[in-house]
Structure 1
Amino acid sequence: IAVVRRADGSGTTFLFTNYLSKVNPEWKSKIGEGTAVNWPTGAGGKGNEGVSAFVQRLPNSIGYVEYAYAKQNKQTHVSMRNATGAYVQPSDVAFKAAAAGADWAKSFYQVLTEQPGKDAWPITGATFIMMHAKQDKPGQATQALKFFDWAYTGGDKMADDLDYVPMPDSVKTVIRQSWSKITDGAGKPVAVK
């Protein structure tokens, strides 16, 4: 089997190598995890499109790309064994199950690989938006939070249309609750509405 991996650093590589580090002690000790690693083998493609092109050209090859890219390009995918031992296919249900298994109240920085749950896809990731807790431009912070509120209220269909998975409502609730911790220079919460 010909291995194809990313030649450039990426969040996709971080998730893939984080997963491999969790399920394979030898991988963890010899290669580890990161946005870029010292790959022991394989052809390197730049971006999802580079990996995909190599996999399409090389007989008997395997590679990794983000789900939306694979789905939009009608690429073959595999079933994978998750943390509970169940074999699952990548799907909205499997990604939501992984997100639902994380303890979002503890921290929003959650790496969603190997989450508990019989339906959870083992290599799932969330995209983060970070804001300073103390804002020196509270008006701009308010506008940003209004945008996020709009996205969480009406953006699920747009995410679905782009083959991305919206966060579960329970996670959106925890995120919205955290907004009260974003303050102006005087310590007053910035307005969201």
Structure 2
Amino acid sequence: MPADSPPGLAGATPERRAGRQQRRAAATQPPRGTSASPVEVRRSARRSRTVSAYREGDRTIVLIPARMSEAEEQRWVGVMLDKLAAQESKRVIGDSELSDRAERLSDQYLEGRARPASVRWVTNQNTRWGSCTPAEGSIRLSHRLQGMPEYVVDYVLLHELAHLLVPGHGPRFWRLLEAYPRTERARGYLEGVVAADRLPRLPAAREE
């Protein structure tokens, strides 16, 4: 789902080549806490006031007016990455889209070798994020992942896809996941969730 916002463009210089879309990859790192995927900024003379952003595979595309300054560009890239992350954290994908993502991840990171027969959400996995049955080619993801960042869901999905090829967690298994650039980040996120669940709950404050 694309995100849109109207920027302020006071003091911006006109684009010399009207009507021609300019594309270039953003060189700055995304703000802390946002997606680490490659960001491509596309400038357009036809776009006068709005800024949009959307995901295209493993890349984030940010569309901005051609006359926007470099400083405004950097600021709005950060804003739009934050908006996309917020939208994705609230969106719950269905089993059909989950299957499509499994196919895409297999093609992108496992040379298309992992082809599950079924991929679905389940509500009876509270101690595991995902599971698979290689003999049946079935993958199940815990409903607890719903609402988490998409890179985390993709990691768990890719983890189970790799298990269709390698059953254990030996060196060969982890080599399959080396190609996914957010493995460590996703594992850290999930470890943080588990740690937070184990923290003792503070007692409710009493009114004096």
User: For this structure pair, what is the TM-score category when the shorter chain's length is used for normalisation?
Assistant: under 0.3
Structure ID, larger Rg: 2
Structure having the larger proportion of residues in helix: 1
TM-score normalised to structure 2 length: 0.23
The answer to which structure, 1 or 2, has the higher relative contact order (CA under 8 A, 6+ apart) is 1
**Larger relative strand fraction:** 2
Q: What's the TM-score, normalizing by structure 1?
A: 0.24
